[in-house]
Amino acid sequence: WIIYYSMKFTRSDTIARELRHHLPFTLVVSLLAGVLVALAFVFKLASNEFFLSGFEIIHPLHVLVSAAATSAIYYKYKRSFVGAILIGVVGAILIGSISDVLLPWVGGNLFLLGTSFHLPILESPLLILGIGVVGALVGIYVGMFKLTHSLHVFLSVFASLFYLLAFSVSVSVWVVLVNSLVVFLVVYVPCCISDIVFPILFIKTPCKDCGHWHD
């Protein structure tokens, strides 16, 4: 019982430490994305079609790097090829859909933006599933968790913001800036859950080399 409690504590401690570590980067990227998009509005460099096209490109890329990050950390602890593929694909698509679509949709309607609902996995299932599998394979054979996680956060910020702008009826510069804070919340929690918490929950033993939980 003591050993089990110690393992549980160290795993929880690792998750809490990683969440604290990734908070500043996510906040800075969210605010930067909001400022850049607001400037695009000011100088009339963007349109609904631009944001729609951007979302359709960025969301699949988000799924790709998310699957890579999730499968990489899972495969590092547990050398299960099938398990890493399943965890990577499910985590990337499920949580990626929440951060890129569901939460921005809820947030947009809370701010009375008239945001409509569009879910890529339902509209293009083969494309999204295929990209998820490719990402998981990259995570298994290439690794690079820190790089793929950083790219995951970066892409998710823009995917969430572009979704709000592409599928909302009423958008202005001030709405963009305010929603950059909303985007921070809808990206930070799901992305860290997807890349860190989700795969670790399926790992029953700590690292064999040092006996601790870490990425």
- pLDDT, tens digit only, all 215 positions of the chain: 334 444 444 666 666 666 676 677 777 777 777 777 777 766 676 777 888 999 999 999 989 988 988 888 888 778 889 999 998 999 889 988 988 899 888 888 887 778 899 999 999 999 999 999 999 999 898 876 566 556 767 888 888 888 988 888 766 666 666 666 666 666 656 556 555 565 666 666 655 554 444 44
- What count of other Cβ atoms lies within 10 Å of the Cβ of residue 3? 7
Instruction: Give the residue from 69, 65, 63 showing the smallest Cα distance to 143.
Output: 69
Given a contact cutoff of 8 angstroms between Cβ atoms, the answer to whether 129 and 89 are in contact is yes
DSSP state letter for 196 = I
What 8-state DSSP symbol labels residue 37? H
Question: What token pair was written down for 14?
Answer: 């690792």
Q: Kindly state the tokens that stand for 60.
A: 């699949």
How crowded is residue 79: how many other Cβ atoms within 10 Å of its Cβ?
10
Residue 119 has, within 13 A of its CA and on its CB side, a CA count of: 12
Alpha helices in the chain (DSSP H): 2-42, 48-77, 81-97, 103-110, 120-123, 125-141, 145-167, 173-192, 198-201
- At residue 211, the pLDDT reads 47
- DSSP state at residue 116: P
Taking a C-beta distance cutoff of 8 angstroms, is the pair 100, 157 a contact?
Answer: no
